[in-house]
Structure 1
Amino acid sequence: MNPYESQPARAFWRTAVAEPEPAAIGGVWTPKFAIGQDDPVLTAGSCFAARLGRGLIDHGMNFFDAEPPPPGLTRDERRARHFGEFSFRTGNIYTAAVLRQWLAWAFGHEKAPDTVWTGDGRCFDPYRPSVEPAGFASADDVFAAREETLAAIRRGVARARCLIFTLGLTEAWGDADGTVYPSCPGTVRGTFDDTRHTLRTFTFADVHRDLLDVFALARAVNPDLRFVLTVSPVPLTATAGTQHALVANTHAKSVLRSVAGQLAHEHDHVDYFPAYELIAGQPFRSGFYEPNLREVTAEGVEFVMGHFTSALRGPATAPVQERRAPRVKGGDVCDDAVLDYYGPR
């Protein structure tokens, strides 16, 4: 007897990954805690997180929109002004540092800067430059709108059961005042200043620390709040570093996936959901990507949400399969290849 003899089919690469049709791969997630259909769920994170929020609604779950649009806006106006994209109108949050920053501002642990960017006679918020595409009439309007979002964060965190946060990048641009931007100044809005704007590449320790701060800030208000971490399968668009984009993306996703897994291992109130693996994993052969190999198709999002909601409903019972004699392929010199013998046939 050895430990592998009692392992289920999902523990073996052949039976769990290589042999099933991609659409039939299942059992990739066992939730650590329940999330009921009526439990308010917050979403925040990268652009992929916005797709998850709509997916929650489509699957009958309670996506908590803590900052609904004012009455009278058309659907296109709501979309253009980023209402309903996430639970708060923060815009995309690609890094743990930016999420920590928003929570620290919302709960009074740090003061939000009074910096405003201008262009074409309008004012823009440097910390969510694309949220109001036409800009604001004045700096006071920028700060008033930001305060509405900070109030929504306070309201949402206090009432929610779960926060799903999708980690996207490890690269970000910081300001000399210590704050972190969601995008590089001079791209979406603003003007790049190499005397005060610096590239930050967050390490495992940085991301781990920022997420611990996120948990502490949120649970100080709502001790029952749970967190589901995911990693965006959407690759970076460009790197400001010296690596090839492919290498830079692999490094970033590896760091984020490692941190998410580590925190899920360390804390009962944190879980990791494998959205990244379900889209970018080997068995799916990039089939859930658009031709640019970045954007995830609608079918891919539905595939992810199907796994998420079906796992919350409980695991299906799989038939017990018998074991056969070992099969060793010629040329396979990996010592661990023998473990395949102990898997079900």
Structure 2
Amino acid sequence: MFRTELNPKPSSHKIQLSNPLISIGSCFADNIGKKLSQHKFKVEYNPFGIIFNPLSIFELIEMALDETRLPEDSYLVRDGIHLNYKVHSELYGKSKEQLESHINRQRNRLTKVLKKPTTIIVTLGTAWVYEEKKTQMLVANCHKTPASQFNKRLLSSEEISSAFMLLKEQLHTQNPELKFILTVSPIRHVKDTLELNMVSKSILRLACHQISTYADDVDYFPAYELLMDDLRDYRFYEKDMLHPNQLAQEYIWGKFMDVYFDKETKAFIKNWGEIRSAMKHKAFHPESDAHQKFLQKTIEKLEQLKGLVKVDKELVKLRKQLIG
């Protein structure tokens, strides 16, 4: 045995294909969101782009809950592009009105899901936050504004825990069926230095522990520990030595399945994986009898899933390849 394998206990809160999901926060929120989407789960992930700090994540969820707008002074113009300090730069516009409209559409998508019996997966990236000096406004993204215009400070675990519990209370007032999964992103923020990144991650981990210990409807999923303590090797990283590579992502996804999916859901994922692989197959002779039979067989498999998930797009794509 050359490693210490981490096997998280299966959760009593199982995620079904029919359950609406939200994945929001740091880069790992994108990773898990894309995986869920690929496997036909109904998931909204990072509607405002990647958001690293807990308070900004909570603020955006609260905005969606209350259906409010971002403050006027959070908008800025950088090199002719309109941006907002509260969201990622992937949300931008040629005018303030265009950007505001885009943000509000994303907000409305999140609002819609929050009204359903949803599981919210929140991935915390850093405990370091930036506040604009002039307005004392917390920002999610500095958008290359000079650092001299911001104060940088470290959140405490109590500050994060209190903010989350307040948000949870507000959410449950409108939808008591909401469940939560907290996780800490395993991606290190080396711009803060490795030493201070570790301080930041420890605060996030402590906050998650405090929350999940106190609240029965909040789980903690150990994505951070799986990469840092279980895999624990640079062969599981991308070339930047910071982001988990495909092998690591698949490993963590497998552990996530073990914790949150029942046998039926796992069976569907296996079946769907085979269908996805079949659909990616490129035939040398698409008009051959063998390939046409292969298409028909794959279509039949998709037809059997119509009661579980939406497969209309896949069926259209395959039927276009049929001859005669």
TM-score normalised per structure 2: 0.73
Superposed, which structure 2 residues align to 1:1-345 within 5 Å?
Answer: 19=1, 25=5, 27-58=7-38, 60=39, 62-65=41-44, 86=45, 88-108=46-66, 112-115=70-73, 116-132=75-91, 135-175=92-132, 176-185=134-143, 187=144, 191-192=145-146, 194=148, 197-239=150-192, 245-281=193-229, 284-313=232-261
Cα contact 2:82–2:94 (8 A) shared by 1: yes
Cα contact 2:121–2:180 (8 A) shared by 1: yes
In the TM superposition, residue 271 of structure 1 has moved relative to its aligned partner by 0.4
Shift of the 143–34 alpha-carbon distance from structure 1 to 2, 3 Å rule, reads: same
Q: Which amino acid aligns with 1:311?
A: V
In the TM superposition, residue 57 of structure 1 has moved relative to its aligned partner by 3.1
Q: Which amino acid aligns with 1:168?
A: G
Shift of the 164–131 alpha-carbon distance from structure 1 to 2, 3 Å rule, reads: same
Shift of the 29–63 alpha-carbon distance from structure 1 to 2, 3 Å rule, reads: farther
Q: Which amino acid aligns with 1:233?
A: P
Aligned equivalents of 2:31 and 2:209: distance in 1? 22
Cα contact 1:172–1:184 (8 A) shared by 2: no
In the TM superposition, residue 171 of structure 1 has moved relative to its aligned partner by 0.8
Aligned equivalents of 2:250 and 2:231: distance in 1? 17
Q: Find the counterpart in structure 2 of residue 322 from structure 1.
A: none
Shift of the 178–214 alpha-carbon distance from structure 1 to 2, 3 Å rule, reads: farther
SS at match of 1:136: coil
Aligned equivalents of 2:209 and 2:57: distance in 1? 18
| Cα deviation code 1:306-336 (max 9, x no counterpart) | 0111223469xxxxxxxxxxxxxxxxxxxxx
In the TM superposition, residue 130 of structure 1 has moved relative to its aligned partner by 1.3
In the TM superposition, residue 207 of structure 1 has moved relative to its aligned partner by 1.1
Count matched residues. 261
Cα contact 2:50–2:88 (8 A) shared by 1: no
**Higher mean C-alpha displacement, 121-130 vs 201-210:** 121-130
Q: Which amino acid aligns with 1:158?
A: K
SS at match of 2:47: coil
SS at match of 1:227: strand
In the TM superposition, residue 182 of structure 1 has moved relative to its aligned partner by 1.6
Shift of the 111–42 alpha-carbon distance from structure 1 to 2, 3 Å rule, reads: closer
Aligned equivalents of 2:2 and 2:7: distance in 1? 12
Percent of aligned pairs sharing the same letter: 21
Aligned equivalents of 1:43 and 1:251: distance in 2? 25
Q: Which amino acid aligns with 2:151?
A: T
Cα contact 1:127–1:181 (8 A) shared by 2: yes
Q: Which amino acid aligns with 2:84?
A: D
TM-score normalised per structure 1: 0.69
Unaligned runs of 5+ in 1: 1-18, 66-85, 240-244, 316-345
In the TM superposition, residue 284 of structure 1 has moved relative to its aligned partner by 2.9
SS at match of 1:153: helix
Shift of the 283–93 alpha-carbon distance from structure 1 to 2, 3 Å rule, reads: closer
In the TM superposition, residue 38 of structure 1 has moved relative to its aligned partner by 2.1
Cα contact 1:122–1:137 (8 A) shared by 2: yes
Q: Which amino acid aligns with 1:123?
A: H
Aligned equivalents of 1:40 and 1:267: distance in 2? 21
Give runs of ≥4 in structure 1 deviating > 6 Å. Answer: none
Cα contact 2:31–2:249 (8 A) shared by 1: yes
Cα contact 1:45–1:168 (8 A) shared by 2: yes
Shift of the 160–288 alpha-carbon distance from structure 1 to 2, 3 Å rule, reads: farther
Cα contact 1:234–1:294 (8 A) shared by 2: yes
Cα contact 1:32–1:268 (8 A) shared by 2: no
Shift of the 156–177 alpha-carbon distance from structure 1 to 2, 3 Å rule, reads: farther
SS at match of 1:64: strand
Cα contact 2:52–2:140 (8 A) shared by 1: yes
Aligned equivalents of 2:55 and 2:27: distance in 1? 16
| Cα deviation code 1:42-69 (max 9, x no counterpart) | 10010121011112234x351423xxxx
Unaligned runs of 5+ in 2: 264-324
SS at match of 1:98: helix
Aligned equivalents of 2:135 and 2:58: distance in 1? 16
Aligned equivalents of 1:96 and 1:214: distance in 2? 11
Cα contact 1:100–1:213 (8 A) shared by 2: no
In the TM superposition, residue 89 of structure 1 has moved relative to its aligned partner by 2.2
